Amino acid sequence: MAAKQDTPASGMALPDMVNPGPSSSDKLIATLEDAAAQGRTEAVRDCLTEWKPTATSSSRRGVKLQPALLAAVENNQPATVGLLLDEGLHIGYDIVRAAISIHSVAILEVFLHHGWNINQKLGPTMAPALSYVSSICGSI
């Protein structure tokens, strides 16, 4: 049985669009995110090695990799966080807030080693990160 075809105003038949599903690049990014959450640094490194040549630009790479960085932070995986930051990812408000919310001094130290400014405000109406870090260190 032939696929149903729509006929636009031009009179030419158009085939039904088939959802191709996730690309191999998207599957690789999902694998990378899972590996980052579990702290499997070798698997993260392998995924990055395989994926980097397909990334169109460094900014696109950063956008695609941010969820993996967040997963590594939320699951307290400092070695993996360091590996991803070595790729040039941005330490944004959400990333810092995630580390503070789980009270991870180890991850905050990784941020510092990658040039993070501890005096940076965590948002337009929030105090600098240092005030939150001080409260974390005081509770240890």
Three-state SS across 82-115?
HHHHHCCCCCCHHHHHHHHHCCCHHHHHHHHHCC
94-103 tens-digit pLDDT: 999 999 999 9
Domains present along the chain, CATH in parentheses? 24-138 (1.25.40.20)
In percent, the amount of the chain with pLDDT more than 90 equals 41
Predicted TM-score (pTM) of the model is 0.76
Of the ranges 4-13, 84-93, 118-127, which is most confident? 84-93
Q: Is the pLDDT of residue 81 over 50?
A: yes
pLDDT mean across residues, the chain: 81
Q: Is the pLDDT of residue 131 over 60?
A: yes
